[in-house]
Amino acid sequence: MKKKAGTDKPWGGRFTEKTAPAAETFSASVHFDMRLYRYDIAGSRAHAKMLAKTGLLSGAELEQILGGLMEIESEIASNTFVFRSELEDIHMNIEKTLVEKVGQAGEKLHTARSRNDQVALDMRLYLRDESQHLIALLADLQKGFVALAREYMGVMMPGYTHLQRAQPVLLSHHLLAYYEMFSRDKARLNDCLKRINVLPLGSGALAGTSLPIDRDFVARELGFTAVSANSMDAVSDRDFMVEFLAACGLIQIHLSRFSEELVLWASQEFNFVEIADRFCTGSSIMPQKKNPDMPELIRGKSGRVVGNLMALLTVLKGLPMSYNRDLQEDKEPVFDSVDTVSQSLAVMVELLSGLSFNREILLHATQEGFITATDLAEYLVRKNIPFRQAHAIVGQAVAYCIANGKELTDLTLEELQVFSAAIAEEVFEVLSVEGSVNSRTASGGTAGTAVMLALEKAETDLGI
C-alpha cells in the first residue's frame, strides 16, 4: 500500500498535513515514557506469542518479531537506540523500529491491540516491579530502626506530647514506633499490588476486539492474577496509580516526621543525637556550622510527593469515558514519586547507621519537668483515690514545686503528705524515671519487658 504524501506517522492514513512542530513537541512523551521500554517489550512479546497461538501470526512471523524485539531491547539498554520524538511515545518508537527491522511481520504486532490498553499494561508492569522494590527498601529501613532499638535498649528519654515533656519512655520504644509506621506502608503497597496485578491488554482502544484472542494466556505469560472485566474501565482506570501515589505520600510523610525529629534532636538545644559527618554539610560563610541537610531534604521532598498525588487526582477529575489523552499526564508524577521515595528511603537507611545517641543527655532530659507526675496520680489511684481527685492533688504538688523551684523528686515525704495523707515511703520508687518506665507493662507500653517483646517480634517478622 502506498503511503499518502502528507504524513509518515503509523496512524497517518487519513491525514493530509504533517503535524505542526509545536503540536509534535507538545504531545511527545518518549523523553519520559522511554523508562517503560522493558515492560513495553515484555508486553509485546506475550502479545505476539498469543497471536501466534490463536493463528493470527505464523510461527515464522513470531520468530521474526521476537528476534527484532530482542535487538531493540539490547539497543535501548546499551544506549544505541535512536529515539524519535516525532513518533510520540515509547510504544510507537519500538513498533516503528521493529517494522524497519523485520518488515511485514512487525506490521502485524499491533493486531488486536491499541496503545490505550498497551500503555495501561506497561504502567501496571512497571508499578508491580517498583512496588516490590519499595517494599524491599522499607524492610531495609525497618531493619535499621530495629538495630538501633536493640543497640540502645534500656536508654530512657522524655516522651513528648505537644513537644512538651510528657512521660519518660525508652528510646527503643520511640524508634519502634517508626517500625510500625513502615510496616503499615509495606502492607499498603501489598494491598495496592492486588489492584495493580490485573491484565488490561485485550481491551483494545475501548471496546474490546473482534479478533480471536486469548487473554488468559497473556495473563499467565505476564504473571497477572486476573484479567480486567470491562474494556472501557480498563483503558481509563488509573485508580491503581492513585493508590500507589497515596502509599508513596504516606511513606514520605513518615520519613519526613522522623527527619523533623532528627533535625530537632541534632540541634544544640536538644543535643540528643549526632548525625555522622558524611550526611551533613557545612556553611560557606559560618565555619562552625554542621547542618542536617539530608533529613531536611527528605522533609522538603514531601512537598513534591504529596503534590504528585494531587496532580494525578486532578488529571482524573471530570474525565469522560474512556481513554483521553489527558491520561498521558499520569506518568511524570508516578515516575517522580518512585524516584523521590526510593532515594529518600535509601538515604535514610544509610543515615540510620550513622546515628549516635547521647545516652546521658537523653536521661538528663527526663530529670526535669515533673515527668513522673502521672505516675504519682496513678499511685494515688492504687490507694483508692478517684482519678480526678488524684489528678488535682498532683496538680497542686506540681504548683508547689514550681513556686519553690523544685522537682517532685526533691520533695520530702512530709512535704508530699501535705497534699495527700495516702502517700507513703514507696512513693520515691514511683516518682523515679526508671520506676515509671518499668511500670508500663501493658502490651504496647514502654516498660522494658513490653518493648523487648515488641523488638523480638519485629526481628522475627524481618527474619533477623
CA separation for the pair 212, 55 (Å, rounded): 8
DSSP 8-state symbol, 199: E
Catalytic residue among 283, 353, 356, 364: 283
Q: 134 CB contacts (<8 Å, ≥6 apart)?
A: 189, 248, 251, 338, 341, 342, 345
Kind plus residue range of the DSSP H or E element containing 360? helix 359-365
Shortest approach of ligand ARG to residue 36 CB, angstroms? 9
Work out the end-to-end distance of the chain between its first and last CA atoms, rounded to an integer number of angstroms: 65
Q: How far is CA 213 from CA 50, 51, 57, 217, 323, in A?
A: 7, 7, 12, 9, 21
Q: Which is nearer to ligand ARG, 29 or 436 (CB)?
A: 29
> Are 379 and 339 contacting, i.e. CB atoms less than 8 angstroms apart?
no
CA separation for the pair 36, 45 (Å, rounded): 14
CA separation for the pair 102, 68 (Å, rounded): 7
Shortest approach of ligand ARG to residue 115 CB, angstroms? 4
Nearest to 219 by CA among 194, 245, 200: 200
Nearest to 13 by CA among 4, 2, 26, 24: 4
CA separation for the pair 324, 54 (Å, rounded): 30
Q: Which is nearer to ligand ARG, 337 or 446 (CB)?
A: 337
> Are 113 and 215 contacting, i.e. CB atoms less than 8 angstroms apart?
no
Q: Can 162 be counted among the known catalytic residues?
A: yes
Phi, psi of 348 (to 5 degrees): -65, -35
Cell numbers for 192: 495496592
Binding site for ligand ARG (CB under 6 A): 29, 33, 89, 115-116, 119, 325, 327-328
> Are 146 and 459 contacting, i.e. CB atoms less than 8 angstroms apart?
yes
Known catalytic residues are 162, 283
